Amino acid sequence: MNGLNIRRRNLLAGALAVGLPAGCASGRSHMGSFSMVTPCRDLFLFGLPVLEMARARDRTMGPRPNVFRHVRRLASAASRLVTTPNADTLYSSAWIDLREGAVEISVPATDGRYFSLALLDMFSNNFHIVGGQATLGQAHRFVLVPPDATPGPGQVRAPSWWVWVQARTLVLNDHDLANAHAVQDGLSIAGPSGRSTQQAVGRELPAHVQLADILRLLETEASPTPEDRAFVSSWTSRALSRSAFATPDTVLTRAAEEGVNAARVAIERVVDDAEAVDGWIYPRPSIGNFGTDYLYRASIATWGLGALPASEAMYMRASGMQANATFDGRRAYRLLFPAEAAPPVEAFWSLSLYEALPSGELFFFDNPLQRFAIGDRTQGLRFSSSGALEILIAPDDPGEAMRANWLPCPRGPFALVMRAYRPAPALVLGDYRLPPVEGA
């Protein structure tokens, strides 16, 4: 990725300030002291995606696993189950429990409509995607087998006992909902019915309680891989265990709190100090399949859980003009695409605006137009005589002349995320860059 060396040095300095290896990419843990703070911090960074996946399962699974649940309307300001929703596609979601054996998943033909079905393990890695070049919109079925199985022809092995299946079906406009629903209705799962599982602890609980639950999930649902061994030794070598966190002494309680706080600071710095090009933070190549990039994985789990890999979609976040990559909603801004300079994609692009919560979560907010994104399918967009497209981002209605191009913002902090589905090579390789967001 092209970028500024100064930004790269800042990110390195931010990581080292809390004792992390650069980007946590090497999987090595540098314990500069005998403190328990570092192991607690590393455990939280490593296990946060598993905990967030379990929390998402509690919110979205429904009565039982191994059944698709369909969202029949596009996301709105009321959609607060998963951070950073999109307003382009309908979601179909299923939590697959493989503890009782394999399941078969069937996908219908999509007749040229954008569709993807992503399978995520409990570490939030996309280990298999159906759609696009893989199936060319044709009907498809495959067998998903448990982690301890050897897959045969037409079978996919899951890295964890639980799998989150997320299907995204494009909706062209309000009149297209029935057609999109037909695609959703063609999804099915056959096999064991699965069974319930223990719920994850909430974000409001003390740090040592959350760390204990991370250890439970790592033991029962998402085993670390051999590549994780060096990083995992940070806490295993100090004998941190579920029983230790169940009845912690004052020292361990304090270490857990300080370690989790240090982890959260490091996660925030991923956004604050990330390399920006013309005011946009581009995804790392590891997005969606993170490997040993634990810090980045934890960051995406915080504000973009379930992100697709760059081959399927790219997510660019505006670096903002204040802390945490946000903008001040009391001002107006514009994003100007010169003629023929919109994001190059094989499917579609959209710019979404989110209210930024103190927790770091991003959600749509209620506005007069009930408009949460603008993209290449937005009806009525006005272009200049030269073919340029200006998107106005402002808290107040600009009037008839610009209303079609207006993306309303709250008066508090907000974030902007550009999505490009099936991006062209120019975008993936960095030959194309988005124009900056400027003050209007």
pLDDT digits (tens, 9 = 90+) for 227-264: 999 999 999 999 999 999 999 999 999 999 999 999 99
The number of beta carbons lying within 10 Å of the beta carbon of residue 302 is 22
Q: Residue 311 — left, alpha, or beta (φ > 0 → left; ψ -120 to 50 → alpha)?
A: alpha
User: How many angstroms separate the Cα of 133 from the Cα of each of 29, 205, 220, 428?
Assistant: 39, 44, 35, 16
Residue 135's pLDDT band (boundaries 50, 70, 90)? low
- pLDDT over 90 at 67, yes or no: yes
**Across 218-226, average pLDDT:** 95
Q: What percent of the chain has pLDDT over 70?
A: 91
Beta strand pairing status for 155-157 and 140-145? parallel
pLDDT in tens, 78-121: 998 878 889 999 999 999 999 999 999 999 999 889 999 999 99
- pLDDT over 80 at 28, yes or no: no
Beta strand pairing status for 406-408 and 389-394? parallel
User: How many angstroms separate the Cα of 84 from the Cα of each of 26, 70, 313, 385?
Assistant: 28, 18, 14, 34
- pLDDT over 60 at 301, yes or no: yes
Q: How far apart are CA 350 and CA 180, in angstroms?
A: 18
**How confident is the model at residue 7, as a pLDDT?**
33
**Across 388-407, average pLDDT:** 97
Higher-pLDDT residue of 7 and 105 is 105
Q: How far apart are CA 435 and CA 440, in angstroms?
A: 14
Residue 173's pLDDT band (boundaries 50, 70, 90)? confident
- pLDDT over 70 at 143, yes or no: yes
Structure tokens, 205: 């609980």
When the pLDDT of each residue in the chain is averaged and rounded to a whole number, the result is: 90
Coil, strand or helix at 39: helix
